[in-house]
Amino acid sequence: MDVQGHLSVDHKAIGERVMKQREKHGLTQQKLAQIIGFSPLYIGQLERGERQMSLSTLYRMAECFHISTDYLINGAEYCHKGDTKEIFSLINRCSQKEISVIEDVIKVILPHIKR
């Protein structure tokens, strides 16, 4: 928050996370731009923190990289017990219908697992 109590957003840090994810996925700025429907110039500006992205662009970026929008905004990763990174990585790739099925399966199995 800034001195006036407004939420402050670090666009440079968001841009760095976008660049990190783009490179992690082996994409050039041009290829990422092509995938999400923007110009490479715009991607470069986002990565340098020179431009702000809309919520729809933020969502498209997160979908493209299979990460949470929360991670792009503030670097927060899911915080869960144990080593669940792989599980959440797999779930992030699922459709809403697949997630519903997974949720139903967990609800059925969980009561039968010894704790």
* Residue-by-residue pLDDT tens, the chain, 115 positions: 555 555 678 999 999 999 999 999 899 999 999 999 999 999 999 999 999 999 999 999 998 998 888 899 988 764 444 556 777 778 878 888 998 898 889 888 888 876 5
Q: What's the topology of domain 11-74?
A: 434 Repressor (Amino-terminal Domain) (1.10.260)
pTM of the model: 0.62
Determine the number of helices (DSSP H) and then strands (DSSP E) in the chain: 7, 0
Helix, coil or strand: residue 8? coil
Cβ proximity of 9 and 73 under 8 Å: yes
Among 70, 53, 54, smallest CA distance to 62 is for: 70
Cα–Cα dist 96/21, whole Å: 23
Task: Look at the block and give the residue holding tokens 């919520």.
Answer: 55
